[in-house]
Amino acid sequence: MCRMACSRNLGMRNQRYYGTSRENISLLLNDFTYSLKSMNQGCQMLQGQTLQSGAASLPHDSRPPLLDFFAGSGLVSHALRPYFREVWANDVCPKKAAVFHANHPNAPFCLCSITDVNGAGLPMSTLSWASFPCQDLSLAGVGKGIRGKRSGLVWEWLRVMDEMPQRPPILTAENVLGLMSANKGAYYRELHLALEERGYRIGAMLLDAIRWLPQSRPRIFVVAVDKRISLPQNLVDDAPNWTHPTVIRNIAADLPHWIWWRLPEPEQPTTRLSEIVDYSLPCQDEPTSKKNLAMIPPAHRRLLEQCGLAAVPGYKRIRNKKQVLELRFDEVAGCLRTPTGGSSRQYIVIKKKDGWRTRILSPREAARLMGAPESFQLPGTFNDGYKAMGDAVAAPVAAHLAKHILSPLAEVCHDAS
Ligand SMILES: C[S@@+](CC[C@H](N)C(=O)[O-])C[C@H]1O[C@@H](n2cnc3c(N)ncnc32)[C@H](O)[C@@H]1O
């Protein structure tokens, strides 16, 4: 399964597993448990059991199989669960793995770098999802682009797909808007052509979590499907639609095998930011709150006094070489980020009896902003929880895509096979 694991780190039980998977490429892994205790030993698959079967021989579960690459805390696996059954997931971060495991205790998860994954040993799958790292594509990044050290891991994903005995007929890649907009679209074009070369037809959509949740989180979702699959007419438009802003239309214009995916518009979100705030949590002490409140620009301070809201979110930013706490008053949080420094955490300014107080958004509130259910566990420290949610995929967005495009596509793929 993992090159690293196979060659160096696995015990006898896993060697047997790997050997079996090499002998019979159609083996499907089932019913793994993952030992957190041994995480530091690399890719650990304990109590692995191989079944000589494909999806069709698992009558108790007819959901098509899913590979969840860069699975992080597992919100994609969570969101797709009604439609797909994860047969394999991976991430390199032990803390994210802890969150994944807490929420998907029976899912096969490989704690390893994608650079150590050997596609030849992966279970056959209908869908392969990759929310690959965004740091080289995000506006805040250093802009190394799709060949950067971190975002360039998307090529490792494609290398793994190439190594599989049979590439999954559906691929989905998710990333920040920079994938499409940076470098005049050249990064996206390179990815598109690489998928096209491998026999896929491709379309990208911009889906902003704000259509589902009180968080502004625009993300690009690329959906590629095997060219040999005939697409149901109801999944495809003959012209751009609400998921295709100008940046996508312009790039798509001269790309081969482009698909205008048709996705129904979601209903209006019903939850407002002030409704996800936990008012029982302690705010920062008075001097710290005061210091933060003093950073609010005068125009925002006036709006704060007039807005009538119980809680207002904001980020600290540098403006004219000065740190300011900028607020927004539309009952929507700014895009959650992975905290690497103080400025990347989102603040909430909360109305108390004796005036305004500040605090950092809690991991549970962050989870609510990602559409995770209250039962979604966030083990570890405050920072671990916040980080786990900061670069996750908003669950209802992934679920909407799965329900209306990926699952119907998987059905067609199944019928065609
Ligand atoms: C955008 S996040 C994915 C979030 C995830 N899909 C979720 O919903 O929580 C990118 C993930 O890539 C992981 N990652 C970074 N480098 C990696 C590598 N070399 N191999 C595997 N995973 C890696 C990070 O730990 C991070 O969790």
| Tens-binned pLDDT, residue by residue, of the chain (417 aa) | 455 433 222 222 222 222 233 322 222 232 232 223 333 333 433 222 222 223 333 445 889 999 999 999 999 999 999 999 999 999 999 999 999 999 999 999 999 999 999 999 999 999 999 999 998 997 654 578 999 999 999 999 999 999 999 999 999 999 999 999 999 999 999 999 999 999 999 999 999 999 999 999 999 999 999 999 999 999 999 999 999 999 999 999 999 999 999 999 999 888 999 999 999 999 999 999 999 999 999 999 999 999 999 999 999 999 999 999 999 999 999 999 887 655 589 999 999 998 999 999 999 999 999 999 999 999 989 999 999 999 999 999 999 999 999 999 999 998 777
Residue nearest to atom 20 of ligand 1 (CA): 113
Of 101, 93, 94, which is closest to residue 74 (Cα–Cα)? 101
327 shares its domain with 262: no
- Asked whether the beta carbons of 223 and 207 are under 8 A apart, the reply is no
Is 348 inside a domain boundary? Answer: yes
Instruction: Give pTM, 2 decimals.
Output: 0.87
The residue to mutate among 3, 4, 68, 70, having the most atoms of ligand 1 within 8 angstroms of its beta carbon, is 70
The residue to mutate among 117, 159, 222, 391, having the most atoms of ligand 1 within 8 angstroms of its beta carbon, is 391
User: Edge-to-edge strand order for the sheet containing 200-208?
Assistant: 109-111, 85-91, 65-69, 127-130, 170-176, 218-226, 200-208
Q: Does the C-beta of 220 come closer than 6 Å to ligand 1?
A: no
Q: Does the C-beta of 394 come closer than 6 Å to ligand 1?
A: no
Q: Residue 411: which domain range? A: 64-267+396-416
Is 184 inside a domain boundary? Answer: yes
251 shares its domain with 283: no
State how far the Cα of 190 lies from the Cα of 210, in Å rounded to an integer.
29
The residue to mutate among 43, 88, 91, having the most atoms of ligand 1 within 8 angstroms of its beta carbon, is 91
pLDDT of residue 3: 54
pLDDT of residue 221: 98
Is 231 strand, coil or helix?
A: coil
Is 369 inside a domain boundary? Answer: no
Query: What is the rounded radius of gyration, in angstroms, for the C-alpha atoms of the chain?
Result: 22
117 shares its domain with 226: yes
Instruction: Return the number of other C-beta atoms located less than 10 Å from residue 118's C-beta.
Output: 20
Residue nearest to atom 25 of ligand 1 (CA): 93
Please, what is the Cα angle at 32 between 175 and 170, to 5 degrees? 35
Q: Does the C-beta of 389 come closer than 6 Å to ligand 1?
A: no
231 shares its domain with 283: no
Q: Which atom of ligand 1 is nearest to the CA of 113?
A: 20
Domain tally, the chain: 2
Q: Does the C-beta of 113 come closer than 6 Å to ligand 1?
A: yes
141 shares its domain with 165: yes
Q: Which atom of ligand 1 is nearest to the CA of 133?
A: 10
pLDDT of residue 2: 52
pLDDT of residue 45: 34
Q: Which atom of ligand 1 is nearest to the CA of 129?
A: 6
Q: Does the C-beta of 131 come closer than 6 Å to ligand 1?
A: yes
The residue to mutate among 92, 177, 220, having the most atoms of ligand 1 within 8 angstroms of its beta carbon, is 92
104 shares its domain with 224: yes
pLDDT of residue 343: 57
Of 79, 86, 96, 100, which is closest to residue 395 (Cα–Cα)? 79
Residue nearest to atom 27 of ligand 1 (CA): 72
pLDDT of residue 344: 82
Distances (CA, A) of 310 to 56, 296, 356: 53, 17, 9
Q: Does the C-beta of 71 come closer than 6 Å to ligand 1?
A: yes
Helix (H) or strand (E) holding 51: strand 49-51
Is 228 inside a domain boundary? Answer: yes
Q: Which atom of ligand 1 is nearest to the CA of 115?
A: 19
Is 299 inside a domain boundary? Answer: yes
Q: Does the C-beta of 153 come closer than 6 Å to ligand 1?
A: yes
pLDDT of residue 51: 24
Q: Does the C-beta of 261 come closer than 6 Å to ligand 1?
A: no
Percent helix, strand and coil across the chain, each to the nearest 5: 40, 20, 40
106 shares its domain with 254: yes
Q: Does the C-beta of 70 come closer than 6 Å to ligand 1?
A: yes
182 shares its domain with 293: no
Determine the distance separating the centroid of ligand 1 and the alpha carbon of 105, expressed in angstroms: 19
94 Cβ contact list (under 8 Å, min separation 6):
39, 40, 111
Is 113 inside a domain boundary? Answer: yes
Q: Does the C-beta of 133 come closer than 6 Å to ligand 1?
A: yes
230 shares its domain with 95: yes
Residue nearest to atom 7 of ligand 1 (CA): 392
Instruction: Return the number of other C-beta atoms located less than 10 Å from residue 349's C-beta.
Output: 23
Is 378 inside a domain boundary? Answer: no
Query: What DSSP designation does 405 have?
Result: I
- Asked whether the beta carbons of 294 and 284 are under 8 A apart, the reply is no
154: domain CATH number is: 3.40.50.150
Tally: H helices and E strands in the chain? 15, 15
283 shares its domain with 325: yes
> Considering 361, 383, 404, which residue would you say is the last residue of a domain?
361
294 shares its domain with 407: no
Q: Does the C-beta of 72 come closer than 6 Å to ligand 1?
A: yes
Residue whose entry in the numeric block shows the structure tokens 């997931």 = 89
109 shares its domain with 257: yes
